[in-house]
Structures are given as C-alpha cells and as structure tokens.
A and B are shown apart, each in its own frame.
Chain A
Amino acid sequence: MSDSKTILLVEDERQMREAVATALECEGFAVCEAASASQAAVEAAARRPDAVILDLGLPDRDGIDFIRDYRAWSPTPILVLSARTQEKSKVDALDAGADDYLTKPFGIAELLARVRVLLRRGQAMPAAPEPKIRFGDYEINCVTRVVERAGEALHLTQIEYRLLVFLAANPGRVMTHHHLLTHIWGAQAADNHQYLRVYVGHLRQKIETSPACPRHILTEIGVGYRFEP
C-alpha cells in the first residue's frame, strides 16, 4: 500500500491513541504516532504526513504552538481534538491554522469522515485552481464575479460576494469569526462579530432554501462557520 495516505496522530493518552490508530489503520491509512509535541515535530519532518490529528492537551508544549510552527513550513491539513473545557484553545487553534476540530468524546465514524474531507482538500489544493467554484445548483465565476443558481444570476452585494467566495473556496474547513472578519473587513473589524452574523444572515436568505436549517453555510456555535458544498 505504497500509495496509502499517511496520518500523523499526536495524542498523549495511550488508550485513546491506540483506538484512533486502529480505526485509521482499518480504513487503510498508514499511521505514525506521537505522544508529545516534540516527538510530533520530528515525525512530521521525517514522514511528511498527508494529514495531522492533534490533541490540544499535550504534556510538553501547547498544541497551538505546534500548529504555528508547523504552519510555518507545511500546509498539511490539521484536525484538532479538544476536550470540552478547552473552548477557547479550540478557537485559538483554528485561528493559528488548524482546519477542523472535534470535541471529545467523538464517534470514530465522525472522525474518519472529517479526515477524509481534509485529505480530499489537501489533494485538491495543488491542482491548478479553476476560477469557478461550484456547489449544489450554484456556480461562482471568480473572474466575472457572477454567482448563478441553475443558470440564473443572483444579486449579491460586494461584501456578500466576498464572504461567499471565501467560504466556498474552503469547503469543509471551520473558519473562525476572527479569520473571516479580518479577511473580509480587515484587521480593525476583528472583534465585531455582529457584522459577520448580519451578513451571514443575508447570505443565507439569498442562497439557502431554508435559512433556519442551512445546508451550505453551517454555524459552529462559539467558533465560526463551516462551508459544506
């Protein structure tokens, strides 16, 4: 299985690591394990994994520091595992460059699904980007800045358009409030979460069939938004 994907699993609790590693191996992934941040850094450099699963509570270093260091040289997708008491560090981890998170305890099926999404994204990235994003009935033409639903043009304001393109370009990834605000409005708006909520609300009214039960722009309470194609 030389073409199997390698996953770096960083988790200090042995039983948990064993369970997750077994599940990943059963799914045909090659798994390398690390019990600390320093060991993880060594493994990451040596094995060049296709995705990283990182527990935030590590004995030697803060998981968030690891993410920052790792992001300095690698765009490999990171899935963060956090305990429920670590609400804040979860957001920090995503801000630092993690792609997704799962709160313990989680179902293994959920974990495997998230890993597959991350790997697909990692794969799609290097391919020559097409100036068109498609999801559901929608097509966004990034050159003409036109959004069409089933061939019919949709009227979006400047900010709504930028928000939609930014979200749609990162499918499956959790985008924190902070990240979205600084990207769309600039650094000075980083704390004004209500702007974001208002515009996401407008965008949902325009693209979701049922804005109360959105299909595409999903809310991650207390964290941010996730775009599902």
Chain B
Amino acid sequence: MRIPAAALPSSPQPTRLRAVFLEGGLIIAWVALLLMLVLILLSRGPDMTDTPYFLPASLMLAVALTVGHTTVRLRRHAEIAERKSLLSKTLYEFSRELSGALTAADVADTTFAFLASAVGARNARLIPPAEFATPPFPVPASRIEACVEHKRLNWEPLPDGAQHALLPLAAASGTQGVLAFEAMPAVVSHPDFVEYIETVASLVAVALERSRFAELARETEVRHASEVLRSSILGALSHDLRTPLAALVSMADTAALGKASPERQKRLLEAISRQAMTICQQMMNLLDMAKLSSGSVELNRAWQPVDEVVGVVLTQIRGQWRDREISVDLPRNLPPVCIDAVLIERVLWNLLENAIKYAPEDAPIELAVRQLGDRLEISVSDSGPGLPDGDAGRLFNLFQRGRQESDVTGVGLGLAISRSIVEAHEGEIGASDRLGGGACFRFTLPIGNPPDVLALG
C-alpha cells in the first residue's frame, strides 16, 4: 500500500531528525553554560583576575541559548504551518473537484479517488441512508447506527492489520450517508489524521447534500414541464378533436331527420365519412406520438431505395388529393438507405399533407431528393405563405400549430412525429422560408454502407 506523498504531512522522519539535532545542540549548550558557571565559582582566587572574562562569556552563552530556543520554537511553528497549508491545499483541491460533481455517484467517485491518493484508502464505499438498516457486508448495522448517532469516526481493526473506518457524513439537513474505507495503521495514527478526515467528511457531506437538492430541483422542473405539456395536450384535444366531432354529430342528426333532398342527404353522408376519417387519422397521430415518445418503437430497418417510399406516398397523396399538382425531382441511381420504410413513409406523408393543407390550392408543391455527401436529403417545398414568424424549430414541437385557431384541421402532431422518426434514424429535420416565397421542409437520412447484394446474382 502506498502512503500518501502529498497529504498527510507525509514522511515525518526528516522533521524529527532536525528537531533531535537542534534539541541535542541546545542540551550541549546548557551543559557548557553550567560548566562555565562552576568554573567561575571554583576559579575564584584571591586576586580574582580571571573573573571579568568568565562573566561576559557566560552572559553571551545565555543569550545564545535563549536565541537558540526561540529559533527552535519558530522552526516548529513554521513546520506545523507548512504542514497545515499542505493539508489545506489538498482539501481545497478536493473541494474544487467536488464542486464539479453533479450527482451523488459523481461525488462518491471523486471521494473514493481522493481518499485513495491522500490516505491510501482502499475498498472505499458510500453507504446511503437508505442502506443503514441493511448495510453491505461486512459492516454490521449496529456499528453504522453508533457511528451516525455519535457523529464520530469509528474504527475497527481488520485481520490483515489494516483499520476499517466508518466516517459519518453529517450536513445541515441530516446525515447524508456513511463513508466506509480501509486504511493502514501508520496513516490512521498520525496526530492530524482525525481532524483531517473529518474535514474531508464535512466537504463530502455538503457536496452530497447539494447533489440531492440539485436532483430535487431537476425533478420539479421536469414535473413542471410535463404539467405544461399536459395542459397543452388537453387544450389541443378539446379544441381540435371536439370541434370536428361536434360537426360530425350535427351532420349525422341532420341526415337522420330525413327531410333534406336526396342530393343534400348524399352530400351530408359523404361529409360525415370524410370527417370521421380525419378524426381517425388524428387519433392515429396521437397514438403514434405516444408510442414514439415513450420510446417503445423499435425501428424495423432494412436497406431500400428511397424511390420506393416516395412512389408509395405519392400514390396515396394522389388518391386523396386528386387535383394537387406535385412535381417530383428524383435522380436515378440514388444509393439505398437503411430505414424503417413504414415510418419514413409517415414523415413524407406528413410533410406533403402539411404543404397541401397550408399552401393555397393552386400553389404547386415540389418534392426533391438529392445526395449531399454521406446523406440523402428529401425536401418538400411549396409556394404558399411561408413559415409563421419566429423560430422555425418550434414548429416541430408537440402540439404546435402553424396557425392557431385556423380552419386547417389537425392537432399539431405531424411535425413532432416526423422529427421523432427522423431523429431515430440519426437524421435531421428542418424548415426554412424559400427565397421566392413559400416554405421548404427538408430532412436528411444517413446513407451508410449498403451491403453488396448484387453479388448474389
């Protein structure tokens, strides 16, 4: 095991040697002074001629002794101060490292690393309050209890000669846990050890407390955000789903009266069917979003040409909006992409449907696919009114409508769903205004390395 180089006032040997040396010198000086005084007394002859020489010599020796003592004392103080400053420095560095630790786990890791380097601690672990009743082997619960109650460092020798320490981590809001570690007796018996390790404990306790509060704050923030989301969901549902449902009921009731002309009757019934289909599609969007945001969607990826997906979506769109003109720019020989075709089809459908819904009926819509380096970009542009003012990225948020309270049906899910799907494919989605007017929505898909299937023949 390594005994710390930096922290615990490391090797006491040189200091002690120096002290022994100095103190030895002083003792010899004292003996010399005594000898001299004895000589003065003994040599007092009748003429007393020698006395004046001995007296000043003794005085000088006494002064030298006093100075020597003061020096020794000062030196000791300086050594202690130096040692303390070294300790403070390691503690300061430790506390700075702790301030960077955001979670309880980070705090624990930082502490373990510090203890290992500072006091050569091994098998360090943090026992949180939740585990006090059932602490990990081999610590008995009674020891933890005593340690927490007395708020004192608690020792127990181990069979291999090391000491097992339990260090309570007390902070203002209560005990944050108990730090358990093993250390060598040489380190533990150092006079400064207890004070030092208890300072460490208080630093760790404060850091743990702070991380706990930070976590609480984060949770509160998340709760608040989901509260806001929930209310916007409720708002969207009550307006965007109830309105078409109300219309549906009125239309069905009118048809049931049976007083309208057969022609009117037929139109009513067709409108009911269309309306119900729309509501159904919105329900599907809601369900899809719920599935996507709960993370339970597994991508069913396969290598395929983009043309295939584009073709299918165009066929569907042309089936629903016969008269809308969509121009397609689809270069030949595009590389295949590894995608979940069902989901990418949804993205493309959503973008085209948006363009059709928000742009005036005679505004042409353009769909273009092109290769940009290692990605494929698919863009849907229209020459409608363009994006609403403000942050274009916001359009992709949940329940964000291009225009609030407009006659355009929908609940503001299409783009949010599209974003989730594209991001699940490691792609990017964005929107911008076009130079000549109108909006352009585009997303990219990584191309990757398609397998060489033609080798199969």
Query: Interface residues, chain A, CB within 8 Å of chain B?
Result: 84, 87, 105, 107, 159, 192-195, 197-198, 200-201, 211-214, 218-222
User: What residues of chain A lie closer than 8 Å to B308, measured between beta carbons?
Assistant: 197, 200-201, 219
Query: Of residues 257 to 312 in B, which have CB atoms within 8 Å of A's CB atoms?
Result: 273, 276-277, 280, 284, 300, 302-305, 307-312
Do the beta carbons of A195 and B273 come within 8 Å of each other?
A: no
User: What residues of chain B lie closer than 8 Å to A212, measured between beta carbons?
Assistant: 307, 310-311, 314, 328, 330
User: What residues of chain B lie closer than 8 Å to A218, measured between beta carbons?
Assistant: 312, 315
Query: Interface residues, chain B, CB within 8 Å of chain A?
Result: 273, 276-277, 280, 284, 300, 302-305, 307-312, 314-315, 328, 330, 336, 341-342, 345, 450-451, 453-454, 456-457
Do the beta carbons of B307 and A195 come within 8 Å of each other?
A: no
* Secondary structure type dominating chain A contacts: mixed
Do the beta carbons of A193 and B302 come within 8 Å of each other?
A: yes
Q: With contacts A194-B336, A212-B328, A222-B342 known, is A201 near B311, CB below 8 A?
A: no
Counted as pairs of residues, one from A and one from B, with CB atoms less than 8 Å apart, the total is: 62
Residue of A nearest to B340 (CB): A222
Complex Cα spacing A105 to B283, Å:
12
Residue of B nearest to A159 (CB): B457
User: What residues of chain A lie closer than 8 Å to B307, measured between beta carbons?
Assistant: 201, 211-212
Q: Which of A193, A194, A212, A222 has the most CB of B within 10 A?
A: A212
Shortest CB-to-CB span from B448 to chain A, Å, is 13
Do the beta carbons of A194 and B341 come within 8 Å of each other?
A: no
Do the beta carbons of B336 and A107 come within 8 Å of each other?
A: no
Shortest CB-to-CB span from A119 to chain B, Å, is 22
Shortest CB-to-CB span from A222 to chain B, Å, is 4
Complex Cα spacing A42 to B170, Å:
77
Q: With contacts A194-B336, A198-B453, A198-B454 known, is A222 near B341, CB below 8 A?
A: yes
Do the beta carbons of B303 and A197 come within 8 Å of each other?
A: yes
Complex Cα spacing A196 to B276, Å:
37
User: What residues of chain A lie closer than 8 Å to B342, measured between beta carbons?
Assistant: 87, 221-222
Shortest CB-to-CB span from A98 to chain B, Å, is 19
Complex Cα spacing A121 to B280, Å:
32
Do the beta carbons of A221 and B309 come within 8 Å of each other?
A: yes
Residue of B nearest to A211 (CB): B307
6 cross-chain pairs, A with B, having the tightest CB-CB distances, nearest first: A222-B342, A194-B303, A212-B330, A197-B304, A219-B312, A212-B307
Q: With contacts A84-B284, A197-B303, A197-B336 known, is A107 near B453, CB below 8 A?
A: no
Complex Cα spacing A31 to B309, Å:
37
Do the beta carbons of A219 and B311 come within 8 Å of each other?
A: yes
User: What residues of chain B lie closer than 8 Å to A200, measured between beta carbons?
Assistant: 308
